[in-house]
Structure formats: C-alpha cells, structure tokens
Amino acid sequence: MRIRVVNPNTTTSMTRTVGAAASAVAGPGTIVEAVNPTMGPASIESHYEEALAVPGLLEQIAIGESDGVDAYIVACFGDPGLDAARELATGPVIGIAEAGFHAAAMLGRRFGVVTTLGRTVGRAHELADRYGFAPLVTEIRACEVPVLELDDPASGARALVVEECRAVIAGGADAVVLGCAGMADFCSEVSRAIGAPVVDGVSAATVLAESLVRLGLSTGKHGEYASPPRKQFTGLLQDFGAVA
Ligand code: 5HY
C-alpha cells in the first residue's frame, strides 16, 4: 500500500522528519511518501497560516489521487484542511491531532498535550472537542518554541518539551500527546525522560491509516465527504476547479 504523508508547510526538513517517523513504524508492505506543497507558509502557527496552507495541501491530495495513493496523513497538529481533503480523497485521510488523541485515549483515563506556541492551544482544545476527547484532556501546555526552531539545539526545545510533558503527567494525565509534527523525532527521548507514554501523532496516524486500508476501509463518499461539486474558480485559485 502507498501512504502519503503531507506536511502542509513548505519546510522540507520537517517533511523529512515526518517521513522518517512514518517510515519507522510502517509495515513491510507499506510505501511511505512524505511530501509538502511548493506554495504556502514555512510553518503554521496561526489561523492565517493555517488557512493559507490548505490550498497547497489540497493540491498534494489531488496529486496523490492521480498517483493512486491508498491513504493520507495531514502532518500538522492543527489538522488543517482535513475535511476538504476527505472530499478529494478516496482512501482514509487522518490528521495527526486526531490520531494522537485516539491513541492517547487508549493509554489511560486522561491525557494532556504539549504544543509549540501558546497561541495554538485554543485550536488544540477545539480539535479535542470536535473529536470527542475534551472530557479526557487534562491540559494543553505550550513550550513556547516556534515550530522552525524545534530542531535548533540553541532553542533548548527538547529540554523544554520534557519539562512541559513532566508537568502534564504531574497534573494527573496518564499520557502526553506531542502537539507538533516537528516534535516527531523527540518522542522516544521524551517518553524515557518522563517515564510515561508520549504519543507522536505522525506515527499514530501511520499505523491507523495502515490498519484502515488493511481492513478495506475508505472515506465515506455518499454524504458530507462526497466529491465537491465542479465549479469555476478564478484568480490564483483558477486551477482548483479542475481538481475536484
Ligand atoms: C505543525 N505547525 O505540526 C504545527 C504545529 C503547531 O507547521 N506543523 C506546523 O504549532 O500547530
């Protein structure tokens, strides 16, 4: 099977990070392809950047459909464009927040989240609510390291994430979800440091996508996620009318 991991921002080093995380857990029969748009924000840390990342994400989904991809992962913790991607895709489309929450919910009574900037905490709460996990979430904390500084040793990101994850466990959570695709390569180190389960949404989404494909399951296309109606688009988006 072919799973396409779409990093919706345009930073190729993050695309390599999420591709490596997905490939590390994918089964022998799974081909993992990590991609990112050529247009859009270098990172997604605001509603504005999230909105402007969606056209590039959808372009990658459309390309995946013509390539015969079996499932997709939206590798950004805001799960940007997830619903629109499901309208374009045949196979399952899984967001890393969605996957992380589902996995963490099976590891204990309650879980917490550690994300990047405090301004993205509200979005994470909104997603937990949408996916039905709000009653299980103890808290959502921010390490206050910008996405693009996570892999800069000078940022002290790893130590800060450990500190915030330790606080989440001290606060009564049984597990922690990492709130950024760029933290995917922190997961094992942080879990060892705090002595508690830490979930990386990229890895969780990969194994969930594989399982759904293996079960022969795909996105339901008879209702809300049916292909969008064909329509004229103009200006910068003029080519998106042909995508649907
Ligand atoms: C992510 N932003 O996973 C989110 C993290 C965040 O560019 N990739 C990004 O801060 O919401």
Q: Which of 77, 164, 203 to mutate to test the pocket of ligand 1 (most atoms within 8 A of CB)?
A: 77
Q: Which residue minimizes the CA distance to atom 9 of ligand 1?
A: 44
Query: Range of 144's domain?
Result: 97-200
**Count of H-run helices and E-run strands, the chain:** 8, 8
Distance in angstroms (rounded) separating the CA atoms of residues 71 and 192: 31
Name the domain count of the chain.
2
Q: Residue 12's closest CA among 40, 51, 47?
A: 40
**How does residue 243 score in pLDDT terms, banded at 50, 70 and 90?**
confident
Residue with tokens 């995380």: 21
Summarised one tens digit per residue, pLDDT across range 101-137 is 999 999 999 999 999 999 999 999 999 999 999 999 9
- Identify the band that residue 196 occupies on the pLDDT scale cut at 50, 70 and 90: very high
User: In the 8-state DSSP scheme, what is residue 226?
Assistant: S
Residue 136 alpha carbon to ligand 1 centre in Å: 22
Mutate to test the pocket of ligand 1, among 11, 13, 14, 45 (most ligand atoms within 8 A of CB): 45
On whether both 139 and 86 belong to a single domain, the answer is: no
Are 19 and 55 found together in one domain?
A: yes
Kindly report the CATH number assigned to the domain that includes residue 122: 3.40.50.12500
Do residue 190 and residue 127 come from a single domain?
Answer: yes
Report the separation in Å between the CA atom of 62 and the middle of ligand 1, taken as the mean of its atom positions.
22
Q: Are residues 6 and 86 in the same domain?
A: yes
Is 65 found in the same domain as 103?
no
Structure token digits, residue 121? 């905490």
Q: Within this chain, do residues 169 and 91 fall inside the same structural domain, yes or no?
A: no
Residue 166 has pLDDT above 90, yes or no: yes
User: Is 49 in the same domain as 69?
Assistant: yes
114 and 27 inside one domain: no
Same domain, 176 and 214: no
Report whether 210 contacts 188 (CB < 8 A).
no
- Phi, psi of 217, deg, nearest 5: -100, 145
One domain, residues 189 and 211 = no
Give the mean pLDDT of the chain.
97
Q: Are residues 134 and 180 in the same domain?
A: yes
**Ligand 1 proximity of 44 Cβ (cutoff 6 Å):** yes
**pTM higher than 0.75:** yes
Task: Indicate whether 121 and 173 sit together in one domain.
Answer: yes
- The radius of gyration of the chain's CA atoms, rounded to the nearest angstrom, is 17
